[in-house]
Structure 1
Amino acid sequence: MQFLKAPTRNLFFTGKGGVGKTSMACATAVQLADRGLRVLLVSTDPASNLDEVLGTKLSSDATPVESVPHLYAMNLDPEAAASEYRERMVGPYRGVLPDAAVQSMEEQFSGSCTLEIAAFDEFSKLLGDPSATAEFDHVIFDTAPTGHTLRLLTLPSAWSGYIENNTTGTSCLGPLAGLQAQALVYQQTVEALADSGATTLVLVTRADAAAFREAARTSVELQSLGVNNQHLIVNGVFKSESQDDAIATAMQQRGDVALSQIPDAIGQLDRTIIPWTWNGLMGIDALRQVGKPAVTQGSEDDDLSWTDSYPDGLGSLIDDLAAVGHGVILAMGKGGVGKTTVAAAVAVALAERGFDVHLSTTDPAAHVTATIAAEELAGLSVGRIDPARETAEYSEEVMRTAAVGLDEAGRALLEEDLRSPCTEEIAVFRAFARAVAEGEDRFVVLDTAPTGHTVLLLDSALAYHREVTRQSSGMSESVENLLPRLRDPEFTRVLVVTLPEATPVHEAAKLQQDLRRAQIEPFAWVINQSLVPLQVSDSALRHRQQHELRFIDEVRSSLAKRVALIPWQIESPVGLAGLRRVVGTDSSLTS
């Protein structure tokens, strides 16, 4: 990896969900530590899987990775950080102010914004306060999927500007004194991000047109923030070993075409190509080989006795999903597992059965409209929850209702409150609730955001009530009934989407646990992009087939009540024809 020839002290890894950011960050950390350098690896992703990749139980404190001398790793825990932040803000007033006033402060600090600023508070200490990481030669950040990362990286400017321009002394986070104390650290964080001599932004992507578009958008937006020292990693580039294997040929051709059409915004960046491996990048030994000359991969037992042992396709779920005649279908899972494809395929299948269907997304990346392209299908409408538009409409509504009767100072306070980064979270949440409510008289299929963001969105339902009623005089019916609707198995069906790989399956299992804690029971699991049902002769792909079986069996035996398996598609599942193939796979490709 070229950027390791003269690495900067701070290294950020970002990119579209599922492209391998964690693997690349871990490989970088291990290889730097192997040089005798002291390295701190930090995950800012709410759905972090550093523990599994490194084989070490981590916490919110720097923990030594025993198998790699000089390497330490940690997960920033948003919930723990929020709890500590809340107590730091409220604690000094216990026993000083009346109990009612303290309780009001606690409620004010219970919103989703507190969760985000608290996590950022921890992040900024590591990047903006040199003394916090002085004992390390390098600090590596394994960041969350792109939408979260962009928000994380723009927060330094957003919050430092908010503090600088706020004159009232209050905010959606309560008294600004607690934030003001951090202003210097936030400013130092901004400076560190923009310092090319100190920070490298590593954009991780796949040889895929959609992933390249996302990487290009990220690159441009980060450059606008002053983050100009960027490097591109194209991960998992497949090269066929057989000229006679249609699947292997298609896989290589898809990657070759994407690489030949790489967007200009990232085409000129220094680039590292990482070859595809059939068994993933789990464990320290595998991480040490990343970016180095290829070695012969180990093999599994060639007895691929899997015929007829795999689940039915996505079409096997459509009858039951259609039975009620209306309701909400949520496609949920780790970033990059194909939630958009699954949601769009289900929406098309239901519309072709004569139902009125609305397909929408809460994902900031919003690839769903590109999946269906410009084609039209009777009964199917496609939309998107646009954060910018929702925020503007919400702010206008609050000023039109809650500002009635306020004096000039009161209106100024409310306007400043609405300029805070928290307002977007509230606005998007309301739009999500409205979309769910539409399921009363038709089908609503939602392509939701990656796992961590989705769970935080659902978990914020109760806290939202306290936050929104602080700014307006009432709560909409859609918000009030959101949790009951999500918890009603006759109204809401959750499809947990995953890939037949360790990390996606285990993160999907965590998602299922979170959903069950919220009293939401998944309807089925969908295992996407599997090679198991396909006829292949390429040796690497045959080993990959057997590698997948353990995870398919894990899902069927211990995690899911119902399972559907979607084969890898020779042609990208774009447009109505491609989505129909996802639901009813071309039988000529299966064994």
Structure 2
Amino acid sequence: MPSFTFVIGKGGVGKTTVAASLALHTANTHPRAKTLLLSTDPAHSLADVLETKLGDTPKKLKAKGALYARELDASAAVEEFLAAQREGILRILESGSLFTRDEIAPLLDSALPGMAEVAALLAIHDLLESDYDEVIVDTAPMGHTLRLFELPAHLERFLHLLEVSAGRDAVLAAHFGGSVSENQYVARWQEMVRKVAQSLDHEHARLLLVTSSEKFSLNEAIRAREQLQRAPVPMEIAEIVLNRAVTAVSGCKRCTTAAKKTVAARRFLAKEFKRVPLRTGEDPGSPIAGVDALTAFGKHVFEGRALRLKQSKPVREKALDIEEAQWPVLNTPLTLTLGKGGVGKTTISAAMAFHARAKNAKEAVCICSIDPAPSLDDVFQTEVTNQLAPVLDDAKLFAAEIDAVGEYQRWAEEMRARVEDATSTEVRGVHLDLSFERDLFLAILDVVPPGVDELFATFRILDLVERGGRVQIDMAPTGHALEVLRTPARLLGWARVLLKTLAHHRTLPLARDAAVEIATVSQRVRELSTTLSDSKRSQVWVVMLAEPLPDRETRRLLCDLQELKAPVAGVFVNRVLMDETHCPRCSRAQAWQRQTLAKMKDGAFPVFVVPEMPEEIAGARGLQRFTKSLWRLQ
């Protein structure tokens, strides 16, 4: 069995860079070992960092040792698994429910939410039988990585559901004579889950946490540790990399401030993560990409050497052609903010909501984060929960952070009571014993399904839009945000299949009740789907940084949004260095920013430039200062 290292952390802290440099360092120091660098982030950037083309098939890199890289194709992995296991799933569900094989089969053909995490576990299982010695996983942003680690426990409960279904044959055989063979499918899947769970335990897997000196990133590191400790199988962080650190200064005010933050972050991490090794990754002020640069960065981080890069700086662009602008207003009922992790989506979302209240004192504004690892409480400097509540002493500015698992569990409790009532009934005077169906439904409700974040995010957006006023949604990072936008269409597809299936069983009260509820939800989801493609009812803002790697991911995101017919209103380019500087590090960073912005002049959408602020944005005063300055690219 290979050893696994999971590189985890808040979006934007440099997980992919650290994961790639660790893989190269591992291959350099253990040239006879076979190493795989695997990206499980739905919005891959591993190929960008390595400066090579990658796909779902491992590709040997031109580097010392036997190092391979792969970007997981989640859809293909799940489709391959379902195709291979289709017969077993259909046989078990048909034997343990009212539904026939023909009724169940279309559900397996429907697109499912939450497949990124399932695909990652399938990939891990396949790798257990591979000849790799080391597997280094570049994970999705924190919230969905935590879902990944919790998934084996949920799958064990799902297999209990299949056991319940298969048990129907055994009981019928006992009643009417005959025998039933042991269900080999369930046994095989249980063994798969057991092996994957074992590969994730502390003896076989290491967690390397990447963080930065930003307060929001450090706060999320603490929250992640607490969630990992509360997981079904508790996990511990084995190593920390404080990335994008500034340690040397040369009279530059910006770098001096950054260096002070680095010192404070080291003290904070040393105090909070006692006995956990702490490494540092210096910020050179320019992208770290390509095998040579990543190899040098790996030696710097994991051997403590001085960072020696061939510093490149693009051809210096002329001063930006920009003009001062006003912050955009929320001129549609629904506004969504998307972007790569760590670009400042939450800050921009909070600023837009804050600005909307300042411009219209009569209209209420609701801001809700649907990121599984939210940080609205950091921006508003108060506890933000699953329930809408006023923030910043403003009775008409409401905030909430969705607790998808909690909402699912509350819904499941309501459904349990209804299932208990509905599965002991009479039809035309004949008593039907639906104990098998009851056990089946109750077993389903015990499972927190993959995709729970996308499903309940959709329902929360529905609720908020129907509530009225202006609604600002702080989305999850790119890959999972796109999944949320695809969920309404998928739900409508599922609803059609389910209603057709339930029609065959309309004599049963449970089937009738379920059909009524599905039809009601379907109508609401259809309305949301229409809203999400109507520029008069919704708008999408994309947030990015003026750096080469985020720029490439943003371009892919904009293409995806156009395919989804989402009404993109414009792009915010955050943390731009506006003033001229003589500092070598800041000068390099500014040159890369200007080159990135120069490429955006002729884009299809308005581009707004947000200056970098000297301190992190939090509280009413911080948001007020933040929304006073904005520029538009000409």
Residue aligned with 1:155, SS:
helix
CA contact 1:433–1:479 (8 Å) conserved in 2: no
Deviation at 1:274? 0.8
Q: Output the CA distance in 1 between the equivalents of 2:122 and 2:566.
A: 31
**Equivalence for 1:331:** 337
Q: 2:629 aligns with which of 581, 585, 588?
A: 585
Q: Output the CA distance in 1 between the equivalents of 2:446 and 2:267.
A: 43
Q: Which moved more, 1:376-385 or 1:10-19?
A: 376-385
Larger radius of gyration: 2
Deviation at 1:464? 1.9
* Count of residues in Structure 1 that have an aligned counterpart in Structure 2: 559
Q: Unpaired segments of 5 or more residues in structure 2?
A: 168-182, 383-391, 425-434, 500-513
Identity of aligned residues (%): 23
**Equivalence for 2:365:** 357
Residue aligned with 2:423, SS:
coil
Deviation at 1:508? 1.6
Task: Within 5 Å, give how 1:162-311 maps onto structure 2.
Answer: 162-164=158-160, 167-169=163-165, 180-196=187-203, 198-224=204-230, 225-228=233-236, 230-243=238-251, 245-262=252-269, 264-290=271-297, 291-292=299-300, 293-295=305-307, 297-299=309-311, 304=316, 306-309=318-321, 311=322
Structure 1 residues 426 and 302 mapped into 2: Cα distance closer, same or farther (>3 Å)?
closer
Task: Within 5 Å, give how 1:24-423 maps onto structure 2.
Answer: 24-35=18-29, 36=31, 37-90=33-86, 101-102=101-102, 104-113=104-113, 115-116=115-116, 118-126=118-126, 129=128, 131=129, 133-134=130-131, 136-164=132-160, 167-169=163-165, 180-196=187-203, 198-224=204-230, 225-228=233-236, 230-243=238-251, 245-262=252-269, 264-290=271-297, 291-292=299-300, 293-295=305-307, 297-299=309-311, 304=316, 306-309=318-321, 311-312=322-323, 316-318=326-328, 321-322=329-330, 324=331, 326-354=332-360, 355-374=363-382, 375-399=392-416, 405-407=422-424, 408-422=435-449
Structure 1 residues 68 and 483 mapped into 2: Cα distance closer, same or farther (>3 Å)?
farther
Q: Output the CA distance in 2 between the equivalents of 1:266 and 1:54.
A: 31
Q: Output the CA distance in 2 between the equivalents of 1:246 and 1:75.
A: 40
Q: Output the CA distance in 1 between the equivalents of 2:310 and 2:326.
A: 36
Residue aligned with 2:326, SS:
helix
Structure 1 residues 562 and 226 mapped into 2: Cα distance closer, same or farther (>3 Å)?
same
**Equivalence for 1:547:** 592
Q: Which moved more, 1:80-89 or 1:22-31?
A: 80-89
Deviation at 1:236? 0.8
CA contact 1:433–1:478 (8 Å) conserved in 2: no
Q: Output the CA distance in 1 between the equivalents of 2:459 and 2:599.
A: 36
Q: Unpaired segments of 5 or more residues in structure 1?
A: 1-7
Deviation at 1:180? 4.5
Q: Output the CA distance in 2 between the equivalents of 1:301 and 1:80.
A: 39
CA contact 1:505–1:555 (8 Å) conserved in 2: no
Deviation at 1:344? 0.2
CA deviation string 1:425-449 (max 9, x = no partner): 475144333245247x311011111
Residue aligned with 1:168, SS:
helix
Q: 1:14 aligns with which of 8, 11, 16?
A: 8
CA contact 1:278–1:543 (8 Å) conserved in 2: yes
CA contact 1:194–1:228 (8 Å) conserved in 2: no
**Normalised TM-score (structure 1):** 0.86
Q: Which moved more, 1:229-238 or 1:64-73?
A: 64-73
RMSD: 3.0
**Equivalence for 1:508:** 554
Q: Which moved more, 1:535-544 or 1:39-48?
A: 535-544
Deviation at 1:111? 4.6
Task: Within 5 Å, give how 1:424-503 maps onto structure 2.
Answer: 424-425=452-453, 428-435=456-463, 437-438=465-466, 441-467=468-494, 473-474=517-518, 475-476=520-521, 477-503=523-549
